Amino acid sequence: MFQSVDDLQKALPFFVEHVSRVAKRLGCFTIEIEPKLGYLIDTDKLSKNIEPFVDEKAIQIFYDAGFVYTGRNMQPKYKLLYDLEKTEQELLSQMKKKHQIQHKLCTEKGCSNQSISSK
């Protein structure tokens, strides 16, 4: 929905206003969203594709708009975000050794990666 933090800051008030009107019309007393925000293990390897999803300013924008962190997550608490435009070796180099070993064991047991084109 939002391509950058600036985009989020400009559009969030409109989004909140619209969703609030719909919620009021439907008799809702609360609105719960789960923004697609996460954390990187190694921020030195941050790619441009992932940048908007890990920017701490984005979280602050939600707080400034009146959102409250409830502590309830329908989705996993932490999301690992990987740029899938990277090669398999580049992705593996971003993983912790434990996860690299798990990947290797899966490969030895017959699991494989497939590239699927959206074109």
What pLDDT, on a 0 to 100 scale, did the predictor assign at position 18? 92
State the average pLDDT for the chain: 79
What pLDDT, on a 0 to 100 scale, did the predictor assign at position 31? 79
Q: Residue 73: is it exposed, middle or buried by C-beta count within 10 angstroms (0-12/13-18/19+)?
A: exposed
In a domain, 116, yes or no: no
In a domain, 34, yes or no: yes
What pLDDT, on a 0 to 100 scale, did the predictor assign at position 108? 92
In a domain, 43, yes or no: yes
Question: What is the number of domains present in the chain?
Answer: 1
A 10 A CB-CB count for 52 gives 18
Contact 112, 103 (CB under 8 A): no
Range(s) of the domain holding residue 23: 5-70+78-108
Report the distance separating Cα 106 and Cα 116, nearest Å: 20
Q: Which residue has the tokens 């996993």?
A: 76
What pLDDT, on a 0 to 100 scale, did the predictor assign at position 42? 60
Task: Please say if the pLDDT value at position 40 is more than 80.
Answer: no
Greater pLDDT, 25 or 115? 25
Report the distance separating Cα 7 and Cα 14, nearest Å: 12
Residues 60-99 pLDDT 10s: 888 898 888 777 766 666 666 777 888 888 888 888 899 8
Lowest model confidence (mean pLDDT) among 40-44, 45-49, 51-55, 84-88: 40-44
What pLDDT, on a 0 to 100 scale, did the predictor assign at position 52? 66
